[in-house]
Amino acid sequence: MSTAKSTPAAQAGRKAWVKKTPVEVVLEQIGKQEEKVAEMREELALEERELSKLQQARKVLEAT
C-alpha cells in the first residue's frame, strides 16, 4: 500500500532533507550574518539622518 503520505518529499511539496557539511553550515551562517549587518547598517543610516534633522531643528529653535 503506497500512498503519497509515505514519502517525505511528497508532503506539501517539501524538498527532501539533505544533510549539510559543517563547512556548508558555517558558510550559511556567515551569509545570514552579512545580510543582518547590511540591514542594520541601512537602519542606522536612516536613524542618523533623522537625528541630523532634529539637531538642525534644535539649532533653529535655540537661535530664536
Give the pTM: 0.62
Q: Would you state the pLDDT for residue 11?
A: 61
HSE-CB of 57 using CA atoms within 13 angstroms: 6
CA separation, residue 1 to residues 4, 5, 10, 54 (Å): 10, 11, 16, 70
Is the predicted pLDDT of residue 38 greater than 90, yes or no? yes
Radius of gyration of the chain (CA): 25
Residue 34 and residue 55: Cα distance in Å, rounded? 31
**Where are the chain's structural domains?**
20-63
Q: What is the mean pLDDT of the chain?
A: 88
Is the predicted pLDDT of residue 23 greater than 70, yes or no? yes
Mean predicted confidence (pLDDT) in 35-53: 98
Mean predicted confidence (pLDDT) in 11-24: 89
Q: At which residue does the C-alpha cell 500500500 appear? A: 1
Confidence band of 22 (pLDDT split at 50, 70, 90): very high
